Amino acid sequence: MSTVGSTGRGDRGQRVILCDLTAGHATRQAGSICCRGPAICSQDHGEEFRPDGRVHVRWKADGAANVPPSQRSVTDVTGRSGATIHVHSAHPAADRPLEQAAAAHPQGHPEPAREAGSARAAEAAGSLDPQAAAAGPLHPQAAATPTARSKFWAYVALTKPRIIELLLVTTIPTMILAADGWPGTWLLLATLVGGSFAAGSANAFNMYLDRDIDRVMNRTKQRPLVTGELRDTQALVFAAVLGAVSILWFGLLVNWASAGLTLAAILLYVVFYTILLKRRTSQNIVWGGAAGCMPVLIGWSAVTGTVGWAPLVLFLIIFFWTPPHYWPLSMKFKNDYARAGVPMLPVVADDVRVGRQILVYSAAMVAATLALVPVAGMGWLYTVAAVAAGAWFLWSCVQLYRRALHPERGKLAAMKVFHGSITYLTVVFVAVAVDPFLPF
């Protein structure tokens, strides 16, 4: 098995590689292609690539014309990361013309040389059985071996750290409320670390299970299992180990009640949401969102060893908050979800119905924040914050609904509600954290 290809600079300065694809396999490291045999694989921006001797490649990097289908040796743009591709061929004779062409023109893209190399490569590979070649072992290697640092950040990306940050925003105030003051630095840190491990495990399982749809959604094309930075088995082992560590962490360093709730949270997100609901119902994010509510129960049980009415009300706040948070994002990317076959509500319903549902859930959410006042004995600061923030966010949802009713008035601006939901939840939970420290 020999490696085909050599890197150079294309006409517009992009990093390119000359490859013979008639008898070999191409892989991508980041932002390029990942194909094997005669299958149709997706490339950046949804373009098609067919390594079956009738190659179609669209150069999205500079908008150039397609490579003619008759050419079996193509120059492929490797994507934003600048990583390169090596193609493995079962026929060493097919490699030499390409290597010679690349060596003869190291600074540019030699059209005549490529044409000649393509013809000789095709002739050399002509005796090969394409089906046998397609079935051969695939061991692609990047031109530059991934560094330990890039691997580390790929694993971090698996955990979806921005989602973890949002979960921690709700955990800390919940623990302060449960303790009616500072819960203790060690207990707080132990809970946050264990919670981060648990959320990271659930998110990594989610990326592993959703890797097929991540490949066709523009929003998720740079995730590490799509770019090839990590292998599927690496992600699966990482998710399992991180989950096991999180449960043992809570059990040994916090309490076993929190450990049990942690296990329930992981199962809710991975099994109930990702496997059972996400691809089957438009209410997926409603019921599956229960997993995102679990940190308040975990945080409360970490302090008290049990749960009560106050953490259940906090659970309901986040439960009702999830649809108004996620559906606006789904409205923005509904074409992505439709292409991936995920029936998010904005995919299967019109904007008016989605806007109405967002308004209903937002009203229920604000009602839950006000119910916390008598249930947990909240003071005036929390009450004022809950009323003011609730009125502001409800108005933004009303505006979204009105724009859905009258599309001629301008853009839907759904992302304003999405970002506003994050601000709203932060304000409410900061008020939850501050209120116990006030003397009145």
> For residue range 277-289, what is the model confidence (pLDDT) as tens digits?
999 999 999 999 8
Residue type, 70: S
| DSSP code string of 110-149 | -HHHHHHHHHHHHHHHTTS-HHHHHHS------SSPPPHH
Overall average pLDDT of the 212-239 stretch: 94
Joined tokens for residue 219: 């929003």
Lowest mean pLDDT across 93-102, 185-194, 305-314, 395-404? 93-102
Is position 210 within any domain? no
Does the pLDDT of residue 430 top 50, yes or no? Answer: yes
* pLDDT score of 106 more than 90: no
Higher-pLDDT residue of 320 and 83 is: 320
- Compute CA 99 distance to the chain's CA centroid, rounded to the nearest angstrom: 38
- 141 in a domain, yes or no? yes
pLDDT at position 101 is: 35
* Size (the chain), residues: 440
| Helices marked H in 73-215 | 96-104, 111-125, 130-135, 148-158, 161-179, 185-209, 211-214
Taking the C-alpha atoms of residue 203 and residue 123, their distance in angstroms, rounded to an integer, is: 48
- Residues 53 and 69: their CA atoms lie apart, in Å, by 8
In a domain, residue 296? The reply is: no
Rounded mean pLDDT of the chain?
75
Give domain status of residue 57, yes or no: yes
Tell me, yes or no, whether 117 lies in a domain: yes
**β-sheet bridge partners, residue 73:** 20
Give the range of the structural domain holding residue 34, as residue numbers without chain letter.
2-145
Residue 9's pLDDT is what?
35
pLDDT of residue 177: 97
What's the pLDDT band for 164 if we cut at 50, 70, 90?
confident
Per-residue pLDDT averaged across 328-349, rounded?
Answer: 94
User: How much is the average pLDDT of 227-239?
Assistant: 95
Q: What is the distance between the alpha carbons of residues 376 and 367, in angstroms, rounded to a whole number?
A: 14
Residue 116, pLDDT > 90, answer no
The answer as to whether 53 is a domain residue is yes
**Closest Cα to residue 337, out of 264, 413, 285, 301?**
285
Where is pLDDT greater, at 37 or 221?
221
| pLDDT tens figures, 245-280 | 999 999 999 999 999 999 999 999 999 999 999 999
Tokens of 298: 């975990």
Whether this model's pTM surpasses 0.75: no
In a domain, 227, yes or no: no
Q: Give a yes or no: residue 125 inside a domain.
A: yes
Tell me how many domains the chain contains: 1
Q: Is 79 helix (H, G, I), strand (E, B) or coil?
A: coil
Does residue 55 surpass a pLDDT of 50? Answer: no
